[in-house]
Chain A
Amino acid sequence: MNAAAESMAVVEARGLRKAYRAKVALDGVGFRIESGRIVGLIGPNGAGKTTALKAMLGLIPFDGALQVLGRDPRTERDDLMRDVCFIADVAVLPRWMRVREAIDFVAGVHPRFDRARCERFLANTQLNPRQRVRELSKGMIVQLHLALVMAIDARLLVLDEPTLGLDILYRKQFYQRLLEDYFDERKTIIVTTHQVEEIEHILTDVMFIRDGKVVLDAPMEDLGERFVEVLVDANQAEAARQLGPLDERSLPFGKTVMLFDGVSQAALSPYGETRTPGLADLFVATMKGTYA
């Protein structure tokens, strides 16, 4: 049973389609997410990230085949939610609730919630059990939500812009907590965010989504092999351009940075200094013209 569970993909999607009245949010999306990964789902506003997450969480109807932990989120949501947890957006905790009530409630209804763990996470914060959520700052609400979620031993955790509107201290703390105190090889995390630079070092896989389609789906270690950035001198620029860069941007003093997909580092090194591009640069290059 263990073997079956491990070889099964955590999420497997084929031909996902979801159209809203005005536009197509998911246009035949397919992907597979294995256990023990931290996947970044990255795309511009309105690309369909949140729709994809909502489909996985069984929050919306959609077309296509989707299995999350072997279950169809449309028909087996109640069962699924014992093994899946999510933070959809910041500040969705009910504002009337007290910190203590939130802990009591989740402890009361969730079979995988570990109360002692949750209280240990909260001990390092300024949260007071008697405080109501509406009296907390945005950062403290996220601390509370994260403590609740991290105390749940779920197999899949979905985070949709979990640090939106937080200052850098809370953001750093958020991801550090997640890595140090929560993540292990039995768990899987899917996260969407705009703050690409802050999460790229914790991701194991990255998925770019644009106009309802997955345009890049790769493990992080493959990115370095596939994409190369070259710092090209002005006199070499024309020659380098012959190799078909994905994107280029000019630097001061006549240098140009060119981004190549699928051209080997050895082939590019004559044109200038090469390096592995950052996720943010890759993102910008891939998404060029999205808002045009």
Chain B
Amino acid sequence: MNVIVDTLPETPRPTARITAARRFGWLLRREFWEHRGGFLWAPLVAGAASLVLSAMGIVLAMVAARGKFRGDTEITLHDGTSVSINGLDLNMLTSRMGHEELARLGDGIDLTLIMASGWPFLVLAFVVFFYCLGALYDERRDRSVLFWKSLPLSDGETVLSKVASAVLVAPLLATIASILTMFGFLVLVSLVVLFYGGNPVTLLWGPASPLLLSLQYLAAIPVYALWALPTVGWLLLCSSWARSKPFLWAVVLPLLAGILVAWLEFLGVLGDVTWPFFRNVVLRALTSIFPMTFMDFEYLRDVDFSLPGAARQLMSPAGVYRNLASVDLWGGVLAGAAMIFAAVRLRRWRDEG
């Protein structure tokens, strides 16, 4: 039989050349398909909701301010009332201002923009949390892992595609939603300014720095990705390990550990370790996907808000990238990488019965 087969010409096999990069691209696409709702629509809806609420507030404020007009174009609310939307004092918008006042106005608007555009990021944190918890658990529960494993995809690249989706794809989409919200908000306020006869270009678009803020948001994504790794790693580990209820395991284990440490400290077995433990382990494992770090908080404390341009400093790359100098961040990266590696091993050998 061998002889016969040997003399037959090898039947041509259609083999496409598929590079690792192309495969990874398809893996990312597959994550996006499954989680389009969380990655794409949730941040957009959050941004839209923030715009709708802002619009409602503005209308409310305009109605409240109606009785207080004097003359034709200027609002003068000098009787002590102030109306503000997301912290933006509408009154200021139409006042006549000098150079310094304009700069201050710019700061005010920038702060407002940061607040208005923050919603998609809040949603992002929750989306990423539950995405990671389900990423390796759901496929085992519905046994679709057996389909994915029937394809020439390694466990390593599959899990890494989920990490990349959590720390890069989802944040990028949320950032885009946030930037859209920011510009939407500016358009909304421009309409108000126009309504009162002001010039939105000189009063809003000139003093504010939406483009700079947008770039700052985008520039912050890599730092966010590194900072989020311990939480992403921990949640993926729970997701690949738990036989059921990954949420409970993921949340209860660190909390119990924290309580145990607190108890030991209370008994005098351990020294003053409870807060450091919570800060460096419990909170790092559970909340690092929120786009704020301890460093950021410390940094914010040092920002002098009385200086012009302070708002632009909040998200400045110089400030954000200072995180890279912290042991906190790199310790987290190491721990996250170790947990992701463990999750890969678990996915490789877990027997789904």
Whether A268 is near chain B, meaning CB under 8 Å from some CB there, is no
Which stretch of A109-117, A175-183, A245-253 is in the interface? A109-117
Cα-based distance from A149 to B11 in the complex (angstroms): 19
Chain A interface residue bracket vs B = 35 or more
Q: Which residues of A contact B99 (CB under 8 A)?
A: none
Taking the closest CB of chain A, its distance from the CB of B12, in whole angstroms, is 10
Q: Does B17 contact A (CB under 8 A)?
A: yes
Looking across the interface, which residue of chain A has its beta carbon closest to that of B15?
A111
Give Cα A185–Cα B143 distance, bound, in whole angstroms. Answer: 32
A134-155: which residues lie under 8 A (CB-CB) from chain B?
Answer: 145, 149, 153
Across the interface, which residues of B come within 8 angstroms of A145, CB to CB? 147
Asked if A94 contacts B349 (CB within 8 A), the reply is no
Q: What sequence of 0s and 1s flags, for each residue 158-182 of chain B, a beta carbon within 8 Å of any chain A beta carbon? A: 0000000000000000000000000
> A86's contact among B13, B16, B150, B351, by CB below 8 Å, is which?
B150
Bound-state CA distance A263–B327 (Å) is 80
Asked whether B152 lies within 8 Å of A109 as measured between CB atoms, the reply is yes
Residues A54 and B144 in contact, CB atoms below 8 Å apart? no
Instruction: Evaluate whether A88 and B146 lie within 8 angstroms (CB atoms) in the complex, with A60-B349, A111-B16 already known.
Output: yes
Could you tell me the distance between the alpha carbons of A109 and B148 in the complex, rounded to whole angstroms? 11
Name which of A2, A61, A104, A149 has the most chain B CB atoms within 10 A of its CB.
A2
Q: Is B2 an interface residue (CB 8 A)?
A: yes
Q: Which residue of chain B lies nearest to A98 when distances are taken between CB atoms in the complex?
A: B33
> By the criterion of a CB under 8 Å from any partner CB, how many residues of chain B are at the interface?
37
Are B152 and A82 interface neighbours, CB within 8 A? yes
Question: Chain B residue with minimal CB distance to A84?
Answer: B150
User: Which one of A54, A61, A104, A111 contacts B152 once the chains associate, using CB atoms below 8 Å?
Assistant: A111
A14 to chain B, nearest CB (A): 22
In the complex, chain A residues whose CB is within 8 Å of the CB of B144: 92-95
- A residues in contact with B145, CB < 8 Å: 92
Partner of A153, one of B14, B26, B30, B351: B14
Residues of chain B having any CB pair with chain A under 8 Å: 2, 5-6, 10-11, 13-18, 22-23, 25-27, 29-30, 33-34, 139, 142-147, 149-154, 348-349, 351-352
> Apart from A105-B29, A111-B152, what are 7 other A-B pairs with CB-CB below 8 Å?
A59-B352, A78-B154, A92-B143, A108-B18, A110-B151, A111-B16, A153-B14
26 contacts between A and B (CB under 8 A): A2-B6, A3-B2, A3-B6, A6-B6, A78-B152, A78-B153, A89-B146, A92-B142, A92-B146, A95-B142, A95-B144, A98-B33, A101-B30, A104-B26, A106-B151, A108-B18, A108-B22, A108-B26, A108-B29, A109-B18, A109-B27, A109-B151, A111-B18, A145-B147, A153-B13, A153-B14
10 closest Cβ pairs, A-B complex: A108-B26, A94-B144, A88-B146, A81-B152, A78-B154, A92-B146, A82-B152, A92-B147, A92-B143, A60-B351
